[in-house]
Amino acid sequence: MSGLYSIPLSGLKDGHHTLDFEIDSRFFELFEESEIKEGSLTVIVNIDKSSSHIDLDIRISGKVRICCDRCLGMFDHPIDCGNRLLVKYGRIRDDSDPDIITIPVDEHELDLRQYLYEFIHLSLPIRRIHPEDDSGNSTCDPSMLQRLEEHIVREDESSDPRWDKLKKLMNNN
């Protein structure tokens, strides 16, 4: 499956080239630790190759299915990101710099799987919650929101005897 997300370097002439890839659930199965299990994405790679380096402009768009941090329900999150990689030739492979990859001159293909995986995950928001509807209301699972509401302790509820009991327990320890 590595060839599906690779750029063939041998035979690639200097100049501009464009490749496109489709990413679906099979792609995310390649990464056991991935929090994304489903998705439908299109990747367009604009390649500018010269004798000394290759400049990759990578555009990823589509949607992935992720878990809501608030209600734990699954929802589709849109992805639209652009990234750039510079590939230069050297004696040994070095990808310690996240923006510049050094590959040996005799390498025949550049596997983009790990880079695509990272770009997709880095484009996700830190807080992942269901989007609001047109009226500005949450689209989270209402039954889960109700359960959460039952367990929230507010300071204005300090007159609740359970709150007093909890404070006493905490002060005794």
Question: Residue 91: what pLDDT?
Answer: 86
Cβ neighbours for 112, distance < 8 A, ≥ 6 positions apart:
5, 6, 7, 21, 43, 45, 58
Percent over 70 (pLDDT), the chain: 86
DSSP label at residue 3? G
pLDDT at res. 111: 92
Note the pLDDT of residue 167.
64
Cβ(78)–Cβ(63) under 8 Å? yes
Give the mean model confidence (pLDDT) for residues 24-35: 93
pLDDT value at position 138?
Answer: 84
Q: How far apart are CA 30 and CA 54, in angstroms?
A: 26
Q: What percent of the chain has pLDDT over 90?
A: 54
Start-end of H helices in the chain: 25-29, 113-122, 142-151, 161-172
Per-residue pLDDT at 66: 96
Top-confidence residue, 169 or 11: 11
How much is the pTM? 0.80
Between CA 42 and CA 46, with CA 43 as vertex, the angle to 5 degrees is 145
Contact 60, 119 (CB under 8 A): yes
Helix locations, 9-65, DSSP H: 25-29
Report pLDDT digits (tens) over 112-127: 999 999 999 999 999 9
Supply 38's token pair.
């489903």
Residue 3 has pLDDT above 80, yes or no: no
Span 127-169, pLDDT tens digits: 999 998 898 888 888 888 888 888 776 665 556 666 666 666 6
Using CA of residue 124, residue 42, residue 5, residue 7, what is the dihedral sign? negative
Q: What is the pLDDT of residue 148?
A: 81
pLDDT(24) > 80: yes
